[in-house]
Amino acid sequence: SRLAPDGGACPQCRAEISFDPKTHALDQGLAAKIEEAVPPDELEARRAHTTATLEKMAAANSGPYPLFVMRGSERGFAPGATVSLHFFEPRYRLLARRAWEGDRRFLWAQSEPTAPGEAGLQPQAALLVVLESARFRAGGEADVRGRGEALVRLGRSYVE
C-alpha cells in the first residue's frame, strides 16, 4: 500500500504538503552526498534536465484558466481523481467550450474565490483539471471528463 497516493498529502494527518521546487531550500548534507556519489558531468546534465523540466512545467501551468465553482466530494477533489461533470449553466457551458478548444485545462474550486490579502484568509486551493473528453449537446450543455492534475493556489481572479 502507498501511504500518500497523491504525493501531496501527509500520510498520517492528510494535511496538504506543498512547496515550490524552484525556491525550496537545499539540504546541504544530502547535496554533498550526491556530489560524492555522482560524477560531475552527469550531475550537471541532471541539473540541466531538472531545470528545463521545471521551466516547462511552470510555462504549461501559468494560466489564466477558467474557474468552475462547485462544492464537491473531498475524495474526488484530488490529483489523480477522475472528474466527470455535466455543465448546464451558460457560464459553465462557455467554460467547457473554451477549455476544450484551448489547452483542455480548467480550475475547479469548492467555494467562491476570496479577495487576495483579505485579513485572516488563507490562499484558496483549486484543482487543475485536464480534460480527456467532452461531448457538447445540441442545446449547448456539455458533458466533460478529465483527471485532476494538481492542487494549486488561486491567485488573482476576475469575472468577464
Separation of alpha carbons 64 and 86, rounded Å: 22
**3-12, 39-48, 148-157: which is most confident:** 39-48
Lowest mean pLDDT among 11-20, 60-69, 141-150: 11-20
Amino acid (1-letter code) at residue 90: P
pLDDT at 56 over 80: no
The CA–CA distances, whole Å, from 6 to 68, 77, 126, 145 equal 22, 11, 15, 19
Of 137, 151, 15, which is closest to residue 83 (Cα–Cα)? Answer: 151
Amino acid (1-letter code) at residue 28: Q
Give the distance, in angstroms, between the CA of residue 104 and the centroid of all CA atoms in the same chain.
Answer: 13
Name the more confident of 11 and 93: 93
pLDDT of residue 103: 86
pLDDT tens-place string over residues 62-77: 667 888 888 876 666 7
Whether the model clears a pTM of 0.75, i.e. scores above it, the answer is: no
Give the distance, in angstroms, between the CA of residue 90 and the centroid of all CA atoms in the same chain.
Answer: 25
Name the more confident of 112 and 150: 150
Query: How confident is the prediction for the chain on average, in pLDDT?
Result: 80
